[in-house]
């Protein structure tokens, strides 16, 4: 099949869970199909780092504003680029598979396919689907209402929707989606089987780890105060903060203000190998995000026997990956004392908690694997192709193979 994968970010030029997901999908599908990755320019003269064809349909915009929120200009330009490309070349593709965000690429793709009367189905990945309250908080009353309206429109444009959580699946129906929804439960692309069954207990002192982007919704600025609170009971506690972003300076300032310079290291962006090593050696992973569409880093921690801490919230699907007391804890809020209690519980859980975490991963390994999701994706593609071939007016020129 000929597949267009559409997302304005390409890993490793841009870092994030959704970036890893779409890179992995394109890379693995390209082993058996013709794949073109439509994105914006994120690389220099050396070209994109990818084993499949990559086409930039918009320029090298800065995605985020100074406040750490997505800018509207880059999303509009990317959506326009997707529209222009598919308007001219939709006959090249049997499937158009796009991320839901940024939404204007969904609108651009749908408009082009309909104008060309293409039989290529529009498949949308929904890692997140924001609530009305979250839109209002994110953009304010007026702009938030507009954002909600655009999101609802995009929901109704998809021919098929992939989701990664029960939270988003339920919201898709609430937003009026009447098509097929396919649940994808796995994004972990690493080795599925481990020779080790006994947990490797990290050396002292105990260490809390954060790994991710430093943007408002990740709430990384809440971590220094939580470490200070936990150190009242665990005075030798350390913390390692990986990643970077618009809030990095604020994190460093909080560390200095609390006098935690010897206890908290803000290391910045590091290699995948260093992240993996940090995940294995940490006592626990702290992920205090306000919202998550999946939470891949939680799975990556559990693979190594490292329990995870997440925060309950109406927009946080990562809580679906944590069974309290078995592979981590769910804090009620991101209040420093609440997070501190969860950190202390992880440290005191010691080897027993790490063993239970490994057992949790072993019990869920199959459903958490990227391979499992890819098999589901290809089966969905084949089903859509069969439907198109069986529909009235189908012929060899339809663009979708029978």
Phi, psi of 10, deg, nearest 5: -130, 115
Round to whole Å and give the CA distance between 371 and 188.
8
Mean local confidence (pLDDT), 143-172: 95
pLDDT band of residue 398 (cuts 50, 70, 90) is very low
CA atoms of 140 and 144, how far apart (whole Å): 5
Pair 247, 221: CB distance under 8 Å: yes
Predicted TM-score of the model (pTM): 0.87
What's the pLDDT tens digit per position in 366-397?
Answer: 999 999 999 999 999 988 877 766 766 544 34
Domain boundaries, the chain: 2-189+369-390, 207-365
pLDDT at 209 over 80: yes
- For the stretch 240-295, pLDDT in tens is 999 998 899 999 999 999 999 999 999 999 998 999 999 999 999 999 999 999 99
pLDDT for position 83: 98
Which of 43, 50, 41, 111 is CA-nearest to residue 74? 41
Mean pLDDT, residues 105-125:
96
Residue 203 has what pLDDT? 65
| Mean predicted confidence (pLDDT) in 39-45 | 94
Name the packing angle between helices 370-390 and 17-29 (round to 10°).
60
pLDDT band at 116 (very low <50, low <70, confident <90, very high): very high
Helices 17-29 & 296-303 angle (0-180, nearest 10): 80
Residue 130: the pLDDT is 93
The CATH number of 207-365 is: 3.40.50.2000
- Percent of the chain at pLDDT exceeding 70: 93
From the list 260, 262, 261, 268, the residue with the least C-alpha distance to 227 is 260
State the average pLDDT over residues 140-147. 93
Do domains 2-189+369-390 and 207-365 share one topology? The answer is: yes
Which range has the worst mean pLDDT, 111-120, 125-134, 254-263, 386-395?
386-395
Span 48-64, pLDDT tens digits: 999 999 999 999 988 87
- The CATH number assigned to the domain with range 2-189+369-390 reads 3.40.50.2000
Give the per-residue pLDDT at 400.
35
Residue 392: the pLDDT is: 65
């Amino acid at each position: 099949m000929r597949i267009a994968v559409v997302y304005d970010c390409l890993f490793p030029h841009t870092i994030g869970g959704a970036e890893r997901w779409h890179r992995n999908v394109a890379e693995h599908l390209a082993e058996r199909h013709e794949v073109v990755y439509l994105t914006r320019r994120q690389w220099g003269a050396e070209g994109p780092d990818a084993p499949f064809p990559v086409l930039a349909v918009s320029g090298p915009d800065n995605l985020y504003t100074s406040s750490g929120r997505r800018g509207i200009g880059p999303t509009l330009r990317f959506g326009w680029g997707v529209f222009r490309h598919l308007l001219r070349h939709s006959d090249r593709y049997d499937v158009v598979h796009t991320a839901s965000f940024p939404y204007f690429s969904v609108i651009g793709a749908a408009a082009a396919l309909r104008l060309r009367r293409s039989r290529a189905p529009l498949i949308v990945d929904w890692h997140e689907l924001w609530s009305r309250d979250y839109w209002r908080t994110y953009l304010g009353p007026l702009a938030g209402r507009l954002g909600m309206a655009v999101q609802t429109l995009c929901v109704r444009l998809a021919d098929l929707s992939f989701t990664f959580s029960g939270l988003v699946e339920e919201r898709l129906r609430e937003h009026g989606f009447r098509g097929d929804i396919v649940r994808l439960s796995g994004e972990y692309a690493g080795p599925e089987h481990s020779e080790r069954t006994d947990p490797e207990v990290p050396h002292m002192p105990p260490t809390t780890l954060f790994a991710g982007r430093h943007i408002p919704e990740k709430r990384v600025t809440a971590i220094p105060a939580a470490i200070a609170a936990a150190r009242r009971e665990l005075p030798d506690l350390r913390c390692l903060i990986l990643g970077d972003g618009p809030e990095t300076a604020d994190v460093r300032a909080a560390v200095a203000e609390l006098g935690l310079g010897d206890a908290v290291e803000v290391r910045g962006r590091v290699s995948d190998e260093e992240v993996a090593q940090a995940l294995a050696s940490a006592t626990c992973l702290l992920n205090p995000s306000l919202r998550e569409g999946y939470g891949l880093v939680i799975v990556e921690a559990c693979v190594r026997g490292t329990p995870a801490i997440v925060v309950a919230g109406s927009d946080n699907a990562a809580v679906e990956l944590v069974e309290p007391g078995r592979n981590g804890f769910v804090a009620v809020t991101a209040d420093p004392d609440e997070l501190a209690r969860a950190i202390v519980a992880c440290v005191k859980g010691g080897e027993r908690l790490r063993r239970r975490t490994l057992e949790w991963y072993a019990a869920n390994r199959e459903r958490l694997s990227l391979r499992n999701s890819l098999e589901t994706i290809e089966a969905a593609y084949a089903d859509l192709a069969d439907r198109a071939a069986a529909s009235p007016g189908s012929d060899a020129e339809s663009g979708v193979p029978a």
